[in-house]
Structure 1
Amino acid sequence: MAELPTHFYLASASPRRAELMQRMGLRFEIRPTHVEEDDSGSQGPEVMVLENAKLKASTLSELEPEALVLGSDTTVAWDAHVLSKPIDLADARRMLHMLSGRRHTVYTAVSLYWQAGGLAHTFVERSDVRFQQLDDARIDQYFARVNPLDKAGAYGIQEGRELIIEHVEGSVENVMGLPIQALEQTLRELGFDFWN
């Protein structure tokens, strides 16, 4: 086994993931990968986020084999529908109407790669979210506070949640894009210490 990695890279441009890792007190660098993600959900939401997270982590790990790399992907799924980022505000409104008054699931996959140490470890966390009943006026109010276009399912939980969300079962941070409780447990179990 190689010596433990000295660098920890986040293979994502997501400010929310970086913020959550900072909140955990981790030392890391942001190194986004430019890969072609599959947002079709044709194999189901869990497989989709797993494959996307592995693709991000493995791509950067090939360039940085001595570093520990974290790739992650999040999606919102209701019934058989995978809700990726909306293409415009009309699409975002359609998604929120679809989720209104209903329960849906947020899946986040985390993939940890360390090529020099032969590590490829991936897991998926799920949280269930129930929305309030939403009418157009409430959605307009939400859009005035939150940009829905860069978020899977057209919503985020860290701002304006009182306008749309009734209840969350599971990790709230998972809904934000990174299940920090499960990540901390996994890093400790694997013997990595990147805490400040």
Structure 2
Amino acid sequence: MEKIILASNSPRRKEILGKFNIHLRIEKSSVDEKVNEGDIPEQVAMALAFQKTLDVAERCDDGGIVIGADTIVVKDHHILGKPANYDEAFNTLKKLSGTYHHVITGVAIIKANTYKKVVFYEKTKVKIKDLSDDDICNYINTNEVWDKAGSYGIQGIGSALVESIEGDYFNVVGLPIARLSSILRKDFNIKLI
């Protein structure tokens, strides 16, 4: 069985892939995530995923399939990153309150020591409930907002903030596993199930 290397230190991505009967290894990428104002969100997500995956693939002398991903939150064509402080988290959640936004995950798959690669993105529409300032403060105080694009995590306490989603739930968590599974089977002859 070909080994899978996850080019991510994300516990959420590790948990999703860890459910399957595969030989999984984690190799953190050292790529700095830089986003420029005005960049097209889908291209940003795919470019960051590819950079992370390539960084790890170039270190895999023993081969394997390297998978990397990058998840971004987009509201009104603006990318909402991970909050650096309390005020950023509050302002981000205030912007999302009572409205729709998109979660875009770029995914790159590279067969190490070859030129074979596939890069794609998945997009999910999410609506956040109307949140009072108290709701926002209480959620920030759970400490779940840190290291999360858009300042919330749908798989945790943040699930109580989400009114609805249109699309892949696991994409919002950080890895669109249904589409990834199809591409691994079709292009790399790897079956997750």
Which TM-score applies when normalising by structure 2? Answer: 0.92
- Structure 2 distance, partners of 1:22, 1:54, is 21
Residue 28 (structure 2) pairs with residue 16 (structure 1): no
8 Å contact from structure 1 (residues 27, 195) kept in 2: no
Q: CA deviation at 1:159?
A: 1.1
Residue 138 (structure 2) pairs with residue 141 (structure 1): yes
- Structure 1 distance, partners of 2:190, 2:18, is 14
- Structure 2 distance, partners of 1:119, 1:41, is 31
Q: How does 1:1-196 map onto structure 2 within 5 Å? A: 6-65=2-61, 66-193=63-190, 195=192
Long gaps (5+) in structure 1: none
Post-superposition Cα deviations, 1:75-112, rounded to whole Å, max 9, x if no partner, equal 00000210010110110010000011110000001100
Post-superposition Cα deviations, 1:9-29, rounded to whole Å, max 9, x if no partner, equal 101111111011112443310
**Distance change >3 Å, CA 46–CA 184, structure 1 → 2:** same
Compute the RMSD of aligned alpha carbons.
1.8
8 Å contact from structure 2 (residues 89, 140) kept in 1: no
Q: CA deviation at 1:71?
A: 1.0
2:9 alignment partner AA? A
2:30 alignment partner AA? H
Q: CA deviation at 1:117?
A: 3.6
1:150 alignment partner AA? D
8 Å contact from structure 1 (residues 105, 129) kept in 2: yes
8 Å contact from structure 1 (residues 27, 194) kept in 2: no
Q: CA deviation at 1:40?
A: 3.0
- Structure 2 distance, partners of 1:44, 1:180, is 23
**Distance change >3 Å, CA 185–CA 195, structure 1 → 2:** closer
- Structure 1 distance, partners of 2:70, 2:92, is 19
**SS state of the match for residue 182, structure 2?**
helix
Long gaps (5+) in structure 2: none
State, as a whole percentage, how many aligned pairs show the same letter. Answer: 32
Post-superposition Cα deviations, 1:102-157, rounded to whole Å, max 9, x if no partner, equal 10000001100114342111000000000101111111232243520210000010
8 Å contact from structure 1 (residues 26, 194) kept in 2: no
